[in-house]
Structure 1
């Protein structure tokens, strides 16, 4: 039985073109870009090409891209490098822990934190957001697309309003970049986070867009790499990989979006034919083309996943299992006020470039068997 991977929002395989681009920089072009000899200059040239490729994908300037180890570091760099005691930070209730946890840690350092609720589709309540801002509000951090449900936030509307109030806006675009068009000029964001392993680069590399007129303080100290914001010798193979992943996304993004939407339509239509009661979370909001969070009524996500694992299918649950053994809804589903009858049986299905129509049909066949066993 061939394995089926439907957990692309967790991580993606490294694309063959990305692997091909990065491999020479482990041995053949192994130089330190801080050196002025030919080895160093070769590495420096590769790094700058990668920086331009990242900038091109999101319509930024070359000098506005800072390389990092991934989304967690990028998010922390913004929050910790910008906010000072007495400042106010506003986030949504469904942010990734890479935002929520550093935000809560900053509260202990004198930062005021406000968490804005979302509606039943996972969209931020804009009226509450606007009413919550004060003279102390320095930063609003709202993810572009939710990792669990796939809901895409109205970021352009948020940034347009925030600019009038002189409030900076950061968006964690880890799940959006490479999947949907991400244009920092159109979105109006001041900071934007990118994670390479979410769109076919290796784990351990990412980037942060910082609008050119804005300054951050470093949270790590060492050499002067990345304008002093990310000290340490650059990981050239991985930076090359990130650049190539960005170039790959830019090359056929519209075509891939259309294809992945079609896969979703096939999947949803097939589920309806399985005679199982379910809901699609966030169905009335804009969503990522590769993501469906499905709540199966009166089932336990863990039971469904266990069944799927036995049939070589990889997916993720929308419910968290706590150490006490009690199962409860994920904080995202709680924030969306999802009915527990459906929430407890929520599973996230996410697909990607390597997923075929045949894979979707095979997934449906194996789901049918699992559901029958749980009846």
Structure 2
């Protein structure tokens, strides 16, 4: 069925993104995977092309759009290209809203121009060695020292962690406050005591720099408090639906592209003297995946439309996130199986998709947490 959520302007933007990927990303991506990090030049190229800060007001150098569908197009095309390790969507759709919605005028003028040009790569640091989905268990602390906060602690699994010039850190600013005792502090490259650990060795998303971060008596200026003091938990809850929808958008796009790639493969690959596509079992596998993708696409598109109208709630975002990512995982597994031994070779797209996509059911809130959110809402 024809998708109805995009207009001519979105498809024109899609063509721009595809041209950018073809010229600036795909020729270099294999090298970035070997290096474990995307080049700085790629970020600057994305800025020059106008792909960063789509929703940032024009006065700060952004696109000035309030239409979230442009971000969805960007996410879809990066997923289809296999360039999920280039953290543009993280920068735009996950970190960007914190800066545009919570920053003061002075902070916006200080941080947003570089955010849009690609000179300032961003990250958000929530997860700790002992605190993942349970944010209330985090132990990173920030003591009020008058004109600054004294930040101590560590974070792990931080995407863009090696390159990041600006990191939004979730820290406990009131020890006895529980969920109401956390704040968002912005740590900038070069601050004394801010150190980066390993670029973590992952099974997938090799081009994505995922790091450990350490804070040893980091003096964070009071003017780097982002949002309300002790208000981090509320700020995080307000932004998580968009983050989870972004993950869902990429997941269904990746699943659809894998199915398309596999359709081409089974038409050409022969076994027992005839193409795999002529085997009934193969056709049944394809039919099931196509149906699941079509149903998921319809729901995710409805969520994109709802979000664009300011109507997407946490429950439906959780539904989209867990369902689309679990589907991506199943489709990758089944498509790899249909490729046989070739599917196990990293030179084939399906092999990389299998490992790259595995994390999507974990980050942004694990599938189990998504189900808990939905279940609680049903029984409230």
TM-score, reference length from structure 2: 0.25
Point out the structure with the larger helix share.
2
Asked which structure has the greater RCO (Cα within 8 Å, sep 6+), the reply is: 1
